[in-house]
């Protein structure tokens, strides 16, 4: 039976975040912490820049400088994440969809690039934490999505193999592809995303039917 894994922000909850400002601030922070701009790759994708920065630090920093880097980057990210957590709210289709998946006796997981402390705050504020059999945050992984590490950890924790992953960004799709999962991208604005996902949906309410009827089940 397929496991159903979700991204958090932008997928299950709306955080009203100004991601453009965050992306620019992330690049500035990584440079301030000693990562050359030329090592950061695509400057429009914060997770990609962070992963590139982590790779650089692993290769170039000594143990003490690496500890300082990780601590300061974590505090920088948490500042934004907690702000988004306080602004977060469930999308209207979130709870009904999670309830329906529970009725179908599906294992449900959460894999997010957000910290554990901010994730817990979002789940508590929006009363959806009890739906998940497993939760993996950025504090449990060495690399963020699109690296598939978080998904792999989630599957290992619940003894799962086949899975759907529902997200809103191309990073979610890439992480899913890297492990051979079934990708579902939520496109609430009907912007005709062309990520090459297995399914592109406009509402989470479509997920239970997809899970029930997917040809590989």
pLDDT of 77 reads 96
Nearest residue to 21 via CA among 10, 13, 29: 29
pTM score over 0.95: no
What does the pLDDT read at residue 193?
63
End-of-domain residue from the set 87, 106, 140: 87
- Say how many domains are in the chain: 2
* Cα–Cα distance, 182 to 170 (Å, whole number): 14
> 170 and 64, same structural domain?
no
The 3-state DSSP class for residue 198 equals: coil
Q: Could you give the strand order of the β-sheet that contains 134-136, starting from the edge strand earlier in sequence? A: 134-136, 108-111, 3-6, 163-167, 182-186, 199-201
Same domain as 167, residue 103: yes
Give the rounded percent of residues in the chain with a pLDDT score beyond 70.
96
Q: Are residues 77 and 102 in the same domain?
A: no
Q: Could you report the per-residue pLDDT of 35-79, keeping only the tens digit for each?
A: 999 999 888 889 999 999 999 999 999 999 999 999 999 999 999
Q: Which two tokens stand for residue 209?
A: 């039917």
Last residue of a domain, one of 38, 55, 87: 87
Encoding tokens for residue 50?
A: 């962070």
pLDDT at 15 over 90: no
Q: Are residues 94 and 25 in the same domain?
A: no
Mean pLDDT of the chain: 93
pLDDT mean over 91-108: 97
Residues 67 and 97 in one domain: no
pLDDT in tens, 109-134: 999 999 999 999 999 999 999 999 99
Q: Rounded CA gap, 141 and 113, in Å?
A: 9
Whether pLDDT at 153 is above 60: yes
Whether residues 144 and 182 share a domain: the answer is yes
pLDDT at 191 over 80: no
Task: Indicate if 8 and 93 belong to the same structural domain.
Answer: yes
Count how many Cα atoms sit within 13 Å of the Cα of residue 186 in the half-sphere of its side chain.
Answer: 24
Distance CA 90, CA 48 (A): 26
Residues paired with residue 136 on neighbouring β-strands, in sequence order = 111
Q: What is the pLDDT of residue 217?
A: 44
């Amino acid at each position: 039976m397929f496991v159903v894994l979700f991204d958090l922000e932008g997928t299950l909850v709306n955080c009203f975040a100004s991601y453009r400002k965050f992306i620019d601030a992330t690049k500035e922070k990584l440079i301030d912490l000693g990562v050359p701009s030329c090592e950061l790759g695509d400057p429009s994708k914060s997770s990609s820049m962070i992963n590139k920065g982590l790779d650089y630090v692993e290769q170039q920093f000594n143990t003490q400088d690496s500890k300082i880097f990780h601590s300061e980057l974590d505090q920088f990210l948490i500042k934004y994440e907690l702000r988004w957590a306080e602004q977060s709210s469930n999308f209207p289709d979130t709870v009904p969809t999670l309830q329906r998946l529970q009725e179908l006796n599906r294992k449900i997981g959460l894999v997010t690039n957000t910290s554990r402390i901010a994730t817990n705050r979002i789940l508590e504020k929006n009363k959806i934490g009890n739906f998940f059999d497993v939760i993996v945050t950025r504090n449990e992984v060495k690399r963020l999505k699109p690296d598939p590490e978080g998904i792999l950890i989630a599957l290992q924790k619940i003894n799962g193999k086949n899975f759907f992953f529902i997200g809103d960004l191309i990073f979610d799709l890439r992480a899913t592809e890297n492990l051979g999962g079934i990708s579902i991208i939520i496109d609430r604005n009907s912007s005709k995303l062309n990520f090459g996902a297995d399914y592109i949906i406009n509402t989470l309410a479509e997920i239970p039917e997809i899970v029930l009827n997917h040809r590989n089940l």
